[in-house]
Amino acid sequence: MSAFLSLRHVGKDYPLARRGLFLPRRKLRAVDDVSLDVFEGETLGLVGESGCGKSSLARLIVQLEAPSRGAVSLDGIELATLDKRALKQARRNFQMVFQDPYASLNPRMKARAIIGEALRNYRTGTPDEIEARVEELARQVGLGTHLLDHFPHELSGGQCQRIGIARAIALNPRLIVADEAVSALDVSIQAQILNLIIRLQAEMGLTLVFVSHDMSVIAHVADRVAVMYLGRIVELATTEAVFSRPAHPYTRTLLAAVPTPTPAARGRRTAWAGEMPSPLAPPSGCHFRTRCAHATARCTDEVPALRDIGGQSVACHHAEALLSPTAASEVVHV
């Protein structure tokens, strides 16, 4: 099966302000040599701690920012090779849903105008046809059509996120990148919006990149999971494999930190071992080595490549040993 979305050695550096007139300008490497494929109709979950580069990667995928290195291709076409006009046409096929439903909607526009904006930009029909399409979209995302003449500040977070989703699906895209789309919502609303996204994905055959720091949300929605740490993908596998036999020590730590309802399971939860190192000065070799109980000299010297071990991809020098029957039962506490 060929990939619908394909990233090859993608990187993103952000230049930082100079600390002194004669000092060199520093760069922060937010995304570091990411290569991955996302297949048509699947949901890839992208998970990792705050600051690991999830949103930066999401913005590169939907071309809100240009990568510093590497290539992003959609349906076999490298997006950087497209001229302005061709890129505008390609943009119809990929849309983004943002974390903060209020901040991502124009406060001076009514819901009706927000949802219809892309339809007008792309001249998809007469004003009456666009009106009808906006009402159809509102119904599709479970937003009462009587709310279409309200401004975002007159609506709840959940209703605003429904507007954001209606806007994202208006042009029948093939790929949606949802960046923490439920994180800012009340817990009671999170499940409703999550289920809406899952339903739309199935109905429309969408390819979905679902970004979240929350492993339990990822478990609910994703077919495959990419785990990110300090700009790099450290594990990439089916959701079933990631949850039943996590191979990277960082993935194990993330899983051990998931709140569990039973007291016995709660007892096995681990605390984080300190802060994530600054992305301005990531550790040499394996970025995770300063928090890893299994680090060796090789981990300091050599960057572990993301490589296949029995169907799941892992960037750890010692993954096989950690997955051996004796080590498998051990939850790694770092």
Ligand X SMILES: Nc1ncnc2c1ncn2[C@@H]1O[C@H](COP(=O)(O)OP(=O)(O)OP(=O)(O)O)[C@@H](O)[C@H]1O
| Residues that bind ligand X in the complex, under the rule CB under 6 A | 14, 28, 30, 48, 50-56, 213, 279
Residue 292 touches which member of ligand SF4, Mg ion, ligand X, none, C-beta under 5-8 Å by kind: ligand SF4
Tokens matching residue 129: 């046809």
Q: DSSP characters for 150-163?
A: S-GGGS-HHHHHHH
By the rule CB under 5 A, 104 interacts with Mg ion: no
220 binds, among Mg ion, ligand SF4, ligand X, none (CB under 5 to 8 A by kind): none
To the nearest whole angstrom, how small is the minimum distance from the Cβ of residue 55 to Mg ion? 3
Residue found by looking up tokens 């790929």 in the block: 175
Q: Distance of alpha carbon 26 from its chain centroid, rounded?
A: 26
C-beta neighbour count of 324 within 10 angstroms: 9
- Taking the alpha carbons at both ends of the chain, their separation in whole angstroms is 38
Alpha helices in 178-334 (DSSP H): 187-204, 215-221, 239-244, 249-256, 263-267, 297-301, 319-323, 325-328
The nearer residue to Mg ion, 140 or 161, going by C-beta atoms, is: 161
Least CB distance to ligand SF4 at residue 285 (A): 7
Q: d(Cα 192, Cα 222) in Å, to the nearest integer? A: 16
3-class state of residue 5 by DSSP? strand
In the complex with ligand SF4, the residue whose CB is nearer, 58 or 234, is 234
334, 291 Cβ separation under 8 angstroms: yes
Site membership for ligand SF4, residue 232 (CB under 6 A): no
State which amino acid sits at residue 253.
T
CB of 289 to ligand SF4, least distance (A): 4
Residues 33-92 interacting with Mg ion (rule: CB under 5 A): 54-55
Whole-number minimum distance, CB 115 to ligand X, in Å?
A: 26
Closer residue to ligand X, CB minimum distance, 93 or 183: 183
CB of 330 to ligand SF4, least distance (A): 13
Residue type, 254: L
Q: Which long-range contacts (CB under 8 A, 24 or more apart) does 197-202 make?
A: 197/97, 197/165, 197/221, 200/140, 200/141, 200/165, 200/169, 201/43, 201/176
Q: 56 touches which of ligand SF4, Mg ion, ligand X, none (CB within 5 to 8 A by kind)?
A: ligand X
**Residue with Cβ nearer ligand SF4 (132 or 328):** 328
Instruction: Map residue 29 onto helix, strand or coil.
Output: strand
Q: Is 246 in the site for ligand SF4 (CB under 6 A)?
A: no
Q: What percent of the residues of the chain are helix, what percent strand, and what percent coil, each to the nearest 5?
A: 40, 20, 40
182 C-beta neighbours (distance < 10 Å), count: 28
Residue numbers 270-299 binding ligand SF4 by CB under 6 A: 286, 288-289, 292, 294-295, 299
- Mark the segment that binds ligand SF4 (CB under 6 A) among 146-154, 207-215, 260-268, 316-324: 316-324
- Minimum CB–partner distance for residue 211 and Mg ion (Å): 7
For residue 304, the partner it binds in ligand X, ligand SF4, Mg ion, none, with Cβ less than 5 to 8 A by kind, is ligand SF4
Residues that bind Mg ion in the complex, under the rule CB under 5 A: 54-55
Residues that bind ligand SF4 in the complex, under the rule CB under 6 A: 248-249, 286, 288-289, 292, 294-295, 299, 304, 316-318
